[in-house]
Structure 1
Amino acid sequence: MNNIRRSILAVGAVLFLSAAANNVFGQTTQDTTQKTATTTTTQPAQADAANVVQALQSNADYSTAFNAVKTAGLDSTLATGGPYTIFAPNNNAFSAIPADKLDALMKDKTQLATVLKGHVVNGKYDKAGIIKALNAGKGKATLTTIDGQTLTLGITADKKLQLTNAAGNSAQVVLYDLVGGTGVVNGLNIVLLPTK
């Protein structure tokens, strides 16, 4: 009788432990999925991007900006030193430029480099850094590009983050925190050309 009781208790204990382990595994899987989703939302870049150029390359929506950076020869500059923040126009922003004008720009490395340098600032302005700069400036922040141009961050009436260059051209920030070893990439919906 004692052997039967022990067997029943042993089977019960195994079933209990098995159910408890499945429950813990289910919570861990759910928590991991939630953490991954949160990480993807707040920091969509490859965590192991060695530099800001690789971070830019990691998002297919910014392939035109990546190709422009390489064409202009800025990739070697941005891959070392820093930190840098690239306010990169997305593919739609580049496609909004008339085809003949974009083609001419992509063939003129000097002009292309000038346009691109107007999108790169020294310092790391991830989303938290932007919020800090805006708080310090009471809703506005002035940034200096790597070639001395001025960019102004501000909030629009509909509470969107806007970046404006010295020529008065504005774009909205539509993506945050593609992080690489030498800085961060934030996405724009418009190419900030140096003239109106």
Structure 2
Amino acid sequence: MRKFLFIAAVATSAVYFAPAKANAQATDTTKTSTPATAPSLATTPATPTKDVAETVASNTDYTTAATAIKTAGLEASLKAAGPFTIFAPNEAAFSKLPAGTVDSLKKDPAKLGALLKGHVVTGKYGKAEIIKALTEGKGKATLTTIDGQSLTLSVSPNKTLQLTNAAGSMAEVSLYDLWATNGVVNGINSVLK
């Protein structure tokens, strides 16, 4: 009985992720590809033509993230075969930081790079793969960032996907499934510090 209830609860979590995607579609009309429904685990939507770094750069709501990737010298690494998943902070996420923080980070590429690496994991984790990982992990999934840190995925009290890093910094996914040739980009509403 417990197993049945758990499976039912996790299955309905897919419904809870839908509002975040719907809201993102209403406010983010420049994204390159987001299917109307979640992709199956066996296929990826329309064949992407850009790598993850180019995918971030091609979306105007991720201009600061794209500039930060380039400034930190991560662009070449993110053009590699991967696959990578970038949990990219949107413009609103960067605007939440204290005044001058972004400019200060841009002056210290090593520190900026360390911050950004905490937003990138190895593997393709679109919406469907995240739901599968949460189901297998009984409501939680832990991924490892490219710098070896833990990134825990769970369902937030708002019924959205929440990310928590090892330092306890949290963000919620606001956009799913910007597919790239070497991975996927998901947008988040806060910078993981």
TM-score of the pair, normalised by structure 1:
0.75
8 A Cα contact 2:34 2:178, kept in partner: no
Alignment match, 2:19 = none
Aligned length: 156
Alignment-mate amino acid for residue 39 of structure 1: P
Q: What CA distance in whole angstroms lies between the structure 2 residues aligned with 1:38 and 1:76? A: 25
Q: What CA distance in whole angstroms lies between the structure 2 residues aligned with 1:68 and 1:184? A: 18
Q: What CA distance in whole angstroms lies between the structure 1 residues aligned with 2:65 and 2:146? A: 17
For residue 157 of structure 1, report the CA deviation from its aligned partner.
2.2
Question: Match for 1:39 among 35, 38, 41?
Answer: 35
For residues 93-108 of structure 1, the aligned pairs below 5 Å read 93-108=93-108
Structure 2, unaligned runs of 5 or more: 1-32, 40-44
Alignment match, 1:166 = 166
Deviates more, 1:54-63 or 1:109-118: 54-63
For residues 12-161 of structure 1, the aligned pairs below 5 Å read 39=35, 47-161=47-161
Q: What CA distance in whole angstroms lies between the structure 1 residues aligned with 2:164 and 2:139? A: 14
Distance 1:122 1:46, change over 3 A: same
Distance 1:181 1:156, change over 3 A: same
For residue 163 of structure 1, report the CA deviation from its aligned partner.
0.2
Q: What CA distance in whole angstroms lies between the structure 2 residues aligned with 1:41 and 1:66? A: 27
Q: What CA distance in whole angstroms lies between the structure 1 residues aligned with 2:130 and 2:37? A: 17
Q: Larger relative contact order (C-alpha < 8 A, sep ≥ 6)?
A: 2
8 A Cα contact 2:86 2:120, kept in partner: yes
Q: What CA distance in whole angstroms lies between the structure 2 residues aligned with 1:47 and 1:55? A: 13
Deviates more, 1:142-151 or 1:154-163: 154-163
Q: What CA distance in whole angstroms lies between the structure 1 residues aligned with 2:36 and 2:58? A: 13
Q: Which secondary structure does the structure 2 equivalent of 1:88 belong to? A: strand
Superposed CA offset, 1:107-130 (max 9, x none): 100000000000000000011110
- The CA RMSD measured in Å over matched residues stands at 2.0
8 A Cα contact 1:172 1:189, kept in partner: yes
Alignment match, 1:185 = 185
Distance 1:48 1:156, change over 3 A: closer
Q: What CA distance in whole angstroms lies between the structure 2 residues aligned with 1:93 and 1:163? A: 14
| Percent identity of equivalent pairs | 57
Distance 1:108 1:52, change over 3 A: same
Q: Whose Rg is larger?
A: 1
8 A Cα contact 1:49 1:179, kept in partner: no
The structure with the largest helix share of the pair is 1
Distance 1:41 1:93, change over 3 A: farther
Q: What CA distance in whole angstroms lies between the structure 1 residues aligned with 2:114 and 2:46? A: 28
Distance 1:109 1:38, change over 3 A: closer
Superposed CA offset, 1:127-185 (max 9, x none): 11100100000110000000100000000122111000001010000000111111100
